[in-house]
Structure 1
Amino acid sequence: MCTVIVRTGEPLTLMGVRDEFADRPWEGPGEHWPEHPGIVGGRDLKAGGTWLAVDPAGRRVAALLNGHGTPASETIKVSRGDLPLRAVEAGGLPEGDLSVYDPFHLVVADERGARLWSWDGERLDTRTLPEGTSVIVNTGLNPDDPRTAAQQPLFAASDDWWELTTAAHSSEPGALIMRHVLPDGRVFASLSVTKVTIAPDAVTTEFGDLTGRIGSQA
């Protein structure tokens, strides 16, 4: 799971909630990639990529979610974590063979608006996000998904998005800040939240580490 919320307009606002196994190592936002100078994001220490990348100079943000569909062949598979880094520089879906990636949803946004690319392992869907507030989850731009149905009205009606992330972790289907304990004892939970605001005069990034709340339950 993961959630990306986008509000178009001036300013454009994007918030990404990252859900992952709690024992997967990562570090917070920084310029971690010399081959992508000036790009800022949190780094996954297992595969080396990111889930959300910001290009302050280019006034652009890219966010990645895992998708559903046909996985890539193990013989050619590469991490999806390079996609936000390349997309935020390119301004859209990077060129290349998508068959090397497991299914994904990729959002790229700037002050003009936001676009969504969804790859299910066989087909690519491309769309421009509508004006207003959109919620993208692992099933894509899907109003019937429990998380979208629960969260879209809340974010559309609120100007204090940080307040909406203060709930304790929950295993409820529509929860934004989630926590699941698997049968093997591993914890899958919301680990961080990033909010990016692209205004005419500035690009602002705010980051929250949620790992201190992993033990909480609603």
Structure 2
Amino acid sequence: MCTVIVRTGRPLTLMGIRDEFADRPWEGPGEHWPDHPGVVGGRDLKAGGTWLAIDQAAGRAAALLNGRGTPAPDAVRVSRGDLALRAVSSGKLPDADLTRYDPFHLVLADPAGARLLSWDGHRPEVTELPDGTSMIVNTGLDHGHERVTAHLPRFAGDADWHEPLRDPPSDAGEALIVRHELPDGRVFATLSVTLVTLAPDGATYEFTDMTS
């Protein structure tokens, strides 16, 4: 399960926590995509896309989470990894050909605010994130989810957003930093954390490799 946390205001602050199988290949942030000049993000080497991208010159960021619902048909399915790239490059949430994608949640943010596009395999839903702090998980903007209930208060007000990252990895359902050792020997864990701030006078990007 991945997590995206957004706090509106000046600056807007966005954190993306990426949970994935530890043996899935990836590389750290860079301008990996010639079709999207100026866009920086970590790259998934299996499918070529990203889970979080920022265009610092444009002052935009986009973050992607897998969703729940009906998968796309095998004959037309494409990777969700291009969704954050498309959104951050254009400044628009994608609204066409969503039937090619498995369910997802996509956050697009700029200094003025953030929008969430959720796709369950049948219909899209766009939500303007409210003022204050929001946490999005794989079930969406789910205020009753155990991770949200446990951790959202830690990011409110003037909280230090780096402090929760010092949590020890855990396989508890509410854990923010996770590590699950599966019966087949594979490991599912928090691989990286990205912290972005977006303000009218500039944007910052901070990437932490949680595997090192």
User: How would you bin the TM-score normalised by the shorter chain?
Assistant: over 0.9
Q: For residue 164 of structure 1, report the CA deviation from its aligned partner.
A: 1.1
- CA distance in structure 1 between the aligned counterparts of 2:96 and 2:124, rounded to whole angstroms: 13
1:7-26 aligned within 5 A: 7-26=7-26
TM-score, normalising length: structure 2? 0.98
- Helix, strand or coil: the match of 1:9? coil
Q: For residue 43 of structure 1, report the CA deviation from its aligned partner.
A: 0.2
Q: Which residue is 2:36 aligned to?
A: 36
String of CA shifts for 1:71-120, please: whole Å, max 9, x gaps. Answer: 01111100000000000012121242101000000000000000000000
Q: Which residue is 1:96 aligned to?
A: 96
Q: Which residue is 2:2 aligned to?
A: 2
- CA distance in structure 1 between the aligned counterparts of 2:57 and 2:28, rounded to whole angstroms: 20
For 2:51, the aligned partner's letter is W
Q: Does the CA contact (< 8 Å) of 2:192 and 2:210 recur in 1?
A: yes
- CA distance in structure 2 between the aligned counterparts of 1:204 and 1:82, rounded to whole angstroms: 22
- CA distance in structure 1 between the aligned counterparts of 2:200 and 2:88, rounded to whole angstroms: 18
String of CA shifts for 1:28-76, please: whole Å, max 9, x gaps. Answer: 1100001110000000000000000101111000000000000011111
1:7-86 aligned within 5 A: 7-86=7-86
Q: Does the CA contact (< 8 Å) of 2:9 and 2:111 recur in 1?
A: yes
- CA distance in structure 2 between the aligned counterparts of 1:40 and 1:116, rounded to whole angstroms: 20
- Helix, strand or coil: the match of 2:24? coil
- CA distance in structure 1 between the aligned counterparts of 2:115 and 2:77, rounded to whole angstroms: 25
- CA distance in structure 2 between the aligned counterparts of 1:93 and 1:81, rounded to whole angstroms: 14
Q: Which moves more between the two structures, 4-13 or 89-98?
A: 89-98
For 2:208, the aligned partner's letter is G
- Helix, strand or coil: the match of 2:156? helix
Q: For residue 158 of structure 1, report the CA deviation from its aligned partner.
A: 4.6
Q: For residue 123 of structure 1, report the CA deviation from its aligned partner.
A: 1.3
Structure 2: where are the runs of 5+ without partners?
A: none
Structure 1: where are the runs of 5+ without partners?
A: 213-218
- CA distance in structure 2 between the aligned counterparts of 1:93 and 1:157, rounded to whole angstroms: 28
1:195-214 aligned within 5 A: 195-212=195-212
Q: Which residue is 2:179 aligned to?
A: 179
Q: For residue 157 of structure 1, report the CA deviation from its aligned partner.
A: 4.3
Q: Which moves more between the two structures, 63-72 or 85-94?
A: 85-94
**Runs of 4+ residues over 3 Å off in structure 1:** none
Q: Percent identity?
A: 67
For 1:103, the aligned partner's letter is P
TM-score, normalising length: structure 1? 0.95
- Helix, strand or coil: the match of 1:17? strand
Q: Which residue is 2:168 aligned to?
A: 168
- CA distance in structure 2 between the aligned counterparts of 1:64 and 1:25, rounded to whole angstroms: 18
Q: Which residue is 1:133 aligned to?
A: 133
Q: For residue 206 of structure 1, report the CA deviation from its aligned partner.
A: 0.4
User: What is the total number of aligned residue pairs between the two structures?
Assistant: 212
Q: Which moves more between the two structures, 87-96 or 174-183?
A: 87-96
- Helix, strand or coil: the match of 1:23? coil
